[in-house]
């Protein structure tokens, strides 16, 4: 047995007994239109929402906002990318991509967050290393609050999950806000059914 295996065996042997997870209560929903609440929460966090009727609208939005020569890595079949994206794509190869396009499984109205797992991103770095993230979201896939996320089967079936709320941002002690300091500079949610 190697040192590593011996160490892991000791860790496994020292684990506490399993016990059931606590029930997550469902709190009373504040009411109101989920889409309006989602949009307001996302805008507070620096994101934006736009409507689209087709994937052509999304392609036009990308050209209008980021230029006709923007490099695009798309994990969705509806929007063509200029950069091929597959599970074998080296994450660091996305470092010079301008726009990443991904479809969120669902959104959370309470926080303006969108939910991704390894299935949506295809390459994990897509959500963090590109300059701008364009997220397709079906308006019927909105949940009221964070407590509703834990009740979804896709949440339990994912290897990992990320709730993303707006672009990356940080502020120093003087209150200077910088977007894109550790991640995407902008996040745009496009309302588009599959």
Separation in Å, CA 57 to CA 20, 116, 131: 47, 23, 20
Cβ neighbours for 76, distance < 8 A, ≥ 6 positions apart: 101, 102, 103, 136
Q: Alpha carbon of 112 to those of 27, 61, 117, 159, 182: distances in Å?
A: 17, 21, 17, 23, 19
Instruction: Give the residues of the chain that fall short of pLDDT 50.
Output: none
The whole-number pLDDT of residue 91 equals 94
- pLDDT reported for residue 88: 94
Distance CA 94, CA 76 (A): 16
| 43 Cβ neighbours under 8 A, 6+ residues apart | 49, 112
Q: Given this model, what pLDDT does residue 131 score? A: 94
pLDDT at 174: 77
pLDDT at position 87 = 92
Domain ranges of the chain: 34-191
Pairwise CA distance, residues 28 & 85, whole Å: 41
* CATH class of this structure's domain 34-191: alpha beta
């Amino acid at each position: 047995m190697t040192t590593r295996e011996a160490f892991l065996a000791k860790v496994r042997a020292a684990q506490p007994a399993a016990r059931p997870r606590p029930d997550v209560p469902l709190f009373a929903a504040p009411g109101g239109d989920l889409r309006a609440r989602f949009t307001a929460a996302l805008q507070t966090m620096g994101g934006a929402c736009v409507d689209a009727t087709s994937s052509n609208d999304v392609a036009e939005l990308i050209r209008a906002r980021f230029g006709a020569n923007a490099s695009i890595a798309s994990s969705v079949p509806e929007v063509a990318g200029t950069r091929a994206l597959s599970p074998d794509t080296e994450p660091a190869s996305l470092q010079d991509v301008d726009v990443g396009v991904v479809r969120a499984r669902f959104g959370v109205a309470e926080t303006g967050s969108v939910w991704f797992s390894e299935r949506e991103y295809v390459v994990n770095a897509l959500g963090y290393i590109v300059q701008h993230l364009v997220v397709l979201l079906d308006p019927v896939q909105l949940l009221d609050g964070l407590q509703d996320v834990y009740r979804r089967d896709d949440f339990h079936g994912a290897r990992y999950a990320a709730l993303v709320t707006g672009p990356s941002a940080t502020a120093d002690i003087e209150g200077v806000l910088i977007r894109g300091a550790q991640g995407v500079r902008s996040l745009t949610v496009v309302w588009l059914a599959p």
